[in-house]
Structure 1
Amino acid sequence: MPSLLAVCAVHALRPDSGSVGVTAIDKRPLDGEVRVGPLGVRADVQASRKHHGGPDKAVYAYAQQDAEYWERELGRELAPGWFGENLRVEGIDVNAARIGEVWRIGEKVLLEVTMPRTPCATFARWVGGAAARGWVKRFSEEGRLGAYLRVRRAGEVRAGDAVEIVSSPLDAPTVLEVYRS
């Protein structure tokens, strides 16, 4: 059964050469129960609210199998939160999730898949080193993007909670199809 490996929130705002001057991409796992409300994980922030956050991008989910792919490609460990994700999940193909699909995490929280992540220059700078060169294109072409979700029902979640697909509109495009269209 799919499960939640980690719930992550910003660890520290980092200086960034982009237009905002800082980034909140440095997310790390939180211990215990964590509240997920209409605007996302409690204690999380977004430095650029023009491109991140808000009701339709309240939570960003990334799959462990995709993180493991990038660990092999980059030759380093990529702990939960490294992709800037709020939820690191296992046993679910996030990129094959359909827009409008509803997930239940734990007993109460309901999340709805809204859109794919669009990689940006801030993400490339976060990757750093030689890997940063061409990172946006490489990440995009590989199609291991992760998904943004809207909070349909707030509540508490914790690492180890089950992730259940409650409903999935069969006629809706997948996260990856939306990104590539």
Structure 2
Amino acid sequence: MTDGKVLSVSVGAMRPNPAKKVGKTGIYKEPVAHPVDVRAPGPKRTGLHSGVVGDEIGDTKHHGGDDQAVYAYSREDYDWWEAELGRTLPDGMFGENLTTEGLDLLATQIGEVWRIGDTLELSPTFGRIPCATFQAKMGEQKWLKRFARENRTGTYLRVVTPGQVRAGDPIDIIHRPTRGMTVTEAFAIYMFDPASLPRLLEADGMSEHLRAEVEERIARL
């Protein structure tokens, strides 16, 4: 029995972005019917940017790289937002590469490993911190604060084993860390509970970049 499935795979071509000085964005993603190759993109600024071949990233300072190689969002969380906002939210609306179904992303642990299809393996790293481009695309008042507060962020993933992904592929969780922390809990601490930041350092699977950032914040406190 699988843990979930890939409902759709989306990629984005570069489009103008008036919300940021970089002037371009790949947030406008559309589902594709064909299989898509996924591989580790390398460093954020100097690598291949997105882990999904054919996907574009405009703001390479803040998005992409190995720890944000792939972005996943669940159809269940979309359904929740549709009820809240009173509007239809199609797959890819939030700029995710993978729209999942049947997988509870609110319970996803940082450092667990998903096997998707035959060979692709991905590992959750952290939740999505909303940005000005996301705000502009959604056109909802106070969207950044609202999205962060509700903590239905989806998850970024790093590539453990490269492979292909297509709509309909099963998702199996093949590993969970010993000292696990959910993406939801880590995001809440990072955004709203600075006193609990040391707890992030105790969790398995935290990226070196995030660990260094948290250590710096703790030192400043």
Judge conservation of contact 1:63–1:90 (CA < 8 Å) in 2: yes
Q: Which has the higher contact order (CA 8 A, sep 6+)?
A: 1
CA separation in 1, counterparts of 2:14 and 2:106? 28
Letter in structure 2 aligned against 1:62: Y
* Corresponding position of 1:37: 39
1:162 is the counterpart of 2:173:
no
C-alpha displacement of 1:14: 3.1
Structure 1 residue 99 displacement after superposition: 0.8
1:137-152, aligned counterparts within 5 Å?
137-152=145-160
Residue deviations 1:6-59 (CA, integer Å, cap 9, x gap): 111104413323121122110111112111111211100110111110011000
- Distance in 2 separating the partners of 1:135 and 1:85: 17
* Aligned 8 A contact 1:4 1:162 in 2: yes
Instruction: Quote the RMSD (CA, aligned, Å).
Output: 1.2
Larger Rg: 2
Where structure 1 has 5 or more consecutive residues not aligned to the other structure, the ranges are none
Distance in 2 separating the partners of 1:43 and 1:30: 11
Equivalent pair of 2:14/2:57 in contact (CA under 8 Å): no
- Do the aligned residues in 1 keep the contact of 2:113 with 2:173 (CA within 8 Å)? yes
Aligned to 2:21: 19
1:73-108 Cα offsets, whole Å, 9 max, x none, are 222221111111000001111132111010000011
Aligned to 1:171: 179
User: Which protein has the bigger helix share?
Assistant: 2
Question: Residues 17 and 133 of structure 2 are in contact (CA less than 8 Å); yes or no, is this contact kept in structure 1?
Answer: no
More strand by share: 1
For 1:55, the equivalent position in structure 2 comes to 66
Give yes or no for the alignment of 1:68 onto 2:76.
no
1:46 aligns with 2:57: yes
1:3 is aligned to 2:1: no
Q: Spell out structure 1 runs of 4+ moving beyond 3 A.
A: none
Q: Identity of paired residues, percent?
A: 46
Q: State the match for 1:124 in structure 2.
A: 135
